[in-house]
Amino acid sequence: MSLKATITASRDFVIAPLDRRIFGTFVEHLGRCVYGGIYEPGHKTADENGFRQDVLDLTKELGVTIVRYPGGNFLSGYNWEDGVGPKDQRPVRLDLAWASTETNAFGTNEFMVWAKKAEVEPMFAVNLGTRGPDEARHFLEYCNHPGGTHYSDLRKSHGFPEPHNIKFWCLGNEMDGPWQICAKTAQEYGRIAQETAKVMRWVDDSGLELAACGSSQRAMPTYAAWEYEVLDTCFDQVDFISLHAYFRNDGSDINEFLGEVDNLDVYIKEIVAVADAVAAKRRSKKRIMLSFDEWNVWYKAHRPEDLKKPGWPEAPPLLEEIYNFEDALVVGGALIVLMNNADRVKTACLAQLVNVIGPIMTQTGGDAWRQTIFYPFADASRLGHGEVLRLKIDTTTFATKAHGEVPHLLATAIRDPETGAVGLMVLNRGQADMALDLDIGGLVGDSGESLTIASASELHDRDLKKANTQAEPNAIVPATNVTAKINGSRLTATLKPLSWNTFSLTLGNRR
């Protein structure tokens, strides 16, 4: 039996302009993300800074816009001072978060040079675990103050005369989690976040964007109460609340796994409600935005031996999730949900960038390749320019145990108001072909122009467990969807069962 879905799109129904920072990723001092990932002096592609060019090229191809650094759980025990200045004088430390030895060969300035080369904005974080407002203000002075003070002159002496001007700062990481170094109660954290934000804005009044930690995940026992109490304390000082989500799969039921995506939408809506409740209490028009600064599929490399190795190794292989085709479907679905919440989700970071639950994999000393999840992310970043449209979708549904009845079809459309070009991304969660019928009349209005299909692609394989590996890096790659066509005001296409699909439409003169 084949499935049917219709979508009606109009350029007049706009959810919000899409903040391109929704296509962020994350680089943590964890496993081989930094060492053997973005940084590997001596690698055959390494530049004069030790940055792997193959990873840099793939980062650009992925379309990453912002990168969070330096952690993660690592952050809560990190001394930023250890990672600056002459490398031979940097201390080697125990990293308690990942039971590893941290050489500090890579730090703030190396990251900023890398970020420039990768053409990404930095999203930095201050340690509110073992440290607090005092270090945060010094770190910010080091990074952003022009000169003439102790820490800004220290930066200059390290070879960086110009300030880094880092705008986006996370105030700690997952401070509600018992696994966090120096975890805190909501009351303790709310006050530290408030005072840290206050002094950071005094150091740099140029319009920093500050994100307070939300819950580590929706399943936390203090979920929602944490966000309420934290924001009730630091509402006036912060701009964002963070969200983290990792999708799990027990491998037995694809429907349950695909349904995880619907939970993401519920999660976002709940945090918006909590943030707005705090605003309502104050009769405030201010709206706290959402920074979904860690999200991904992660369930295979989650055994104790994947999280820590004995003997305090340097850059051990940790959290090295090998993504298969079904994981790419869930990542595609999550991207659709994030984009459809563009009115409140302004930044998001796929965690992480390379090797550690990453879309890019490397062999230390060897190749780099694209994991399956690379493709939906790259598609979304390539097509996600402009305003997200509120679509009317008619689709059949399927039943899940954990998420109830959910739609077979998930879709998002982004229209560039400058060019009239439209990017459409569609996930068929049904286990049969789906006849897609899209009414695009409202996308052109009365302009006398028409839309043409610049490209149509599909990501599909009958084997849900197939993965890209070093030996077979192209096992899962997108193909052209040859069924897509436009007839008058309708775009039709056949979507393969369990497939991720994209359509790029451009505006031209009506023939």
Are the C-beta atoms of residues 6 and 378 closer than 8 Å to each other?
A: no
Using rule CB under 6 A, residue 73 touches ligand AHR: yes
Spatial distance between the Cα atoms of 224 and 274, rounded to a whole number of angstroms: 7
- Residue with smaller CB distance to ligand AHR, 36 or 71: 71
Spatial distance between the Cα atoms of 462 and 289, rounded to a whole number of angstroms: 39
Active-site residue flag, 61:
no
Spatial distance between the Cα atoms of 101 and 190, rounded to a whole number of angstroms: 31
What would the x/- binding string for ligand AHR be over residues 90 to 119, using CB under 6 A? Answer: ------------------------------
Strands (DSSP E) contained in 366-466 are: 368-370, 387-389, 392-395, 397-400, 404-407, 409-415, 422-428, 434-440, 449-459
Spatial distance between the Cα atoms of 87 and 42, rounded to a whole number of angstroms: 16
Are the C-beta atoms of residues 11 and 424 closer than 8 Å to each other?
A: no
Judged by CB under 6 A, the stretch of 67-75, 406-414, 430-438, 451-459 that binds ligand AHR is 67-75
Question: Nearest residue by C-beta to ligand AHR?
Answer: 72
Are the C-beta atoms of residues 356 and 130 closer than 8 Å to each other?
A: no
Give the three-class secondary structure for 191.
helix
Give buried/exposed letters for 165-189 (b at 16+ CB in 10 A, else e).
ebbbbbbbbbbbbeebbebbebeeb
- SS3 for 477-494 is CCEECCCCEEECCEEEEE
What would the x/- binding string for ligand AHR be over residues 257 to 296, using CB under 6 A? Answer: -------------------------------------x--
Instruction: Write down the catalytic residue from 229, 294, 387, 458.
Output: 294
Q: CB of 354: closest distance to ligand AHR in angstroms?
A: 12
Interface residues for ligand AHR in 156-195 (CB under 6 A)? Answer: 173-174
Q: CB of 71: closest distance to ligand AHR in angstroms?
A: 5
Q: CB of 135: closest distance to ligand AHR in angstroms?
A: 19
Using rule CB under 6 A, residue 326 touches ligand AHR: no
Closest CA to 294 of 138, 112, 67, 98: 67
- Residue with smaller CB distance to ligand AHR, 103 or 355: 355
Choose, by CB under 6 A, the member of 72, 83, 172, 358 that binds ligand AHR.
72
Other Cβ atoms closer than 10 A to 499: 22
- Residue with smaller CB distance to ligand AHR, 186 or 353: 353
- Residue with smaller CB distance to ligand AHR, 72 or 163: 72
Judged by CB under 6 A, the stretch of 60-68, 70-78, 189-197, 407-415 that binds ligand AHR is 70-78
Give the three-class secondary structure for 398.
strand
Judged by CB under 6 A, the stretch of 69-77, 247-255, 412-420, 440-448 that binds ligand AHR is 69-77
- Residue with smaller CB distance to ligand AHR, 173 or 499: 173
Spatial distance between the Cα atoms of 420 and 444, rounded to a whole number of angstroms: 8
Judged by CB under 6 A, the stretch of 66-74, 108-116, 280-288, 372-380 that binds ligand AHR is 66-74
Ordered DSSP codes for 271-340: HHHHHHHHHHHTT-----EEEEEEEEE--SS-SHHHH--TT--BS---S----BHHHHHHHHHHHHHHHH
Active-site residue flag, 294:
yes
- Residue with smaller CB distance to ligand AHR, 249 or 352: 352
Q: CB of 369: closest distance to ligand AHR in angstroms?
A: 21
- Residue with smaller CB distance to ligand AHR, 28 or 141: 28
Choose, by CB under 6 A, the member of 9, 15, 27, 28 that binds ligand AHR.
28
Element holding 212 (H helix, E strand): strand 209-212
Integer Rg of the chain from CA: 23
* Alpha helices for 217-293 (secondary structure H): 225-234, 254-281
Give buried/exposed letters for 63-74 (b at 16+ CB in 10 A, else e).
bbbbbbbbbbbb
Using rule CB under 6 A, residue 71 touches ligand AHR: yes
Instruction: Write down the catalytic residue from 174, 229, 260, 321.
Output: 174
- Residue with smaller CB distance to ligand AHR, 28 or 343: 28
Are the C-beta atoms of residues 18 and 380 closer than 8 Å to each other?
A: no
What would the x/- binding string for ligand AHR be over residues 207 to 236, using CB under 6 A? Answer: ---------x--------------------
- Residue with smaller CB distance to ligand AHR, 71 or 420: 71
Spatial distance between the Cα atoms of 143 and 167, rounded to a whole number of angstroms: 10
Judged by CB under 6 A, the stretch of 71-79, 156-164, 273-281, 500-508 that binds ligand AHR is 71-79
Applying CB under 6 A, what is the total number of residues that bind ligand AHR? 11
What would the x/- binding string for ligand AHR be over residues 332 to 361, using CB under 6 A? Answer: -------------------xx---------
Using rule CB under 6 A, residue 243 touches ligand AHR: no
Spatial distance between the Cα atoms of 455 and 483, rounded to a whole number of angstroms: 11
Catalytic residues: 174, 294
Applying CB under 6 A, the residues found at the interface with ligand AHR are 28, 30, 71-73, 173-174, 216, 294, 351-352
